[in-house]
Chain A
Amino acid sequence: MWIYEKSLERPVKISRPDPAFAKLVITQYGGPDGELSASLRYLNQRYSMPTDKAKALLTDIGTEELAHMEMIAALVYKLIEGADPKDMEAAGWGGQYAQHNHGLFWTDANGVPWSAKYIACLGDPITDLAENMAAEQKARTTYEHLIDLTDDPCVKDTLRFLWQREVVHFQRFGECLNDVQEHMSKMNTWCGYEMRK
């Protein structure tokens, strides 16, 4: 079960509305390396993890990613607050207005809709944890690109927090991968193959 907490993980502030940047940062909502993809990837992989530690870590990081998804949603909400159709069009986001108005939609920065193809789950714990480490690096890189694309210090501050969380998650997944490898070597298994018994 999940319980909703009526609070963001960290306050999200902006200096001024900026629909053009909303169009770019939406990729961390519904893009390949965005927070929805991350959350679903980790929560979904729990069912094929061999250790309690791995199940705990995927539960907790998957849950934190949901909170990050909400921070990105709050950021987009604020960046387009009060923007009229002309503002949206001038920002290059007329298509968003035509189809969704101020409603959020799961796309990347190029308008490509979210896809389950962004989620990997091979059912092999080593493969899947390595996938997650790569995913954290891809998200980190995307945040660096986004930080380059805004001049708003408040927006940069939010993006830096999320950037830093990707670094921590990468570290924790690495520790978890080592632990799972050790566990599997004790079971005389390798890549899902039972080598003995």
Chain B
Amino acid sequence: MNCEKQMSMLKKIQEMQFVAVELNLYLDTHPCDVEAINDFNCAVQMLEKRKKAYQDEFGPLLNFGFGGYSKEPWQWAMGPWPWEM
């Protein structure tokens, strides 16, 4: 497994996810801020792209079917786990 590549792809996801988290919380208390909603939607679009690329290579990021298809063997049960990275 290419651990360095996995880490750097995951970091790109974490960066964009942070943008989405921050805008999500902001929008919870500012639901009419159109500009922020546009920013949020842009972040989601980028995030989806980055997640797809990661999951195609390293398997699902999310369990219970939310992270897409698995290759064989069952990719969900493969490390490294987040606290080991």
Contacts and interface: CB of A to CB of B under 8 A. Distances in A.
Given A60-B24, A73-B83, A53 B31 contact: yes
Contacts of B14: 7-11
Contacts of A157: none
Nearest to A77: B83
A64 B29 contact: no
Per DSSP, chain B at the interface is helix
Contacts of A70: 82-83
A121 interface: no
Given A9-B17, A10-B18, A11-B11, A56 B82 contact: no
B22 interface: yes
B4 to A, nearest CB: 13
Q: How large is the interface on B (under 10, 10 to 19, 20 to 34, 35 or more residues)?
A: 20 to 34
A7 B25 contact: no
A8 B30 CA distance: 27
Interface string A5-29: 1111111100000000000000000
Interface in B40-85: 60-64, 66-67, 76, 81-83, 85
A78 B80 CA distance: 14
Q: How large is the interface on A (under 10, 10 to 19, 20 to 34, 35 or more residues)?
A: 20 to 34
Among B7, B62, B82, B85, the most chain A Cβ lie within 10 Å of the Cβ of: B82
A90 interface: no
B61 A5 contact: yes
17 contacts: A3-B64, A5-B62, A6-B63, A6-B76, A6-B82, A53-B29, A57-B28, A60-B24, A60-B25, A61-B25, A70-B83, A74-B82, A74-B83, A77-B83, A168-B22, A172-B28, A179-B29
Interface of B: 7, 10-11, 13-14, 17-18, 21-22, 24-26, 28-31, 60-64, 66-67, 76, 81-83, 85
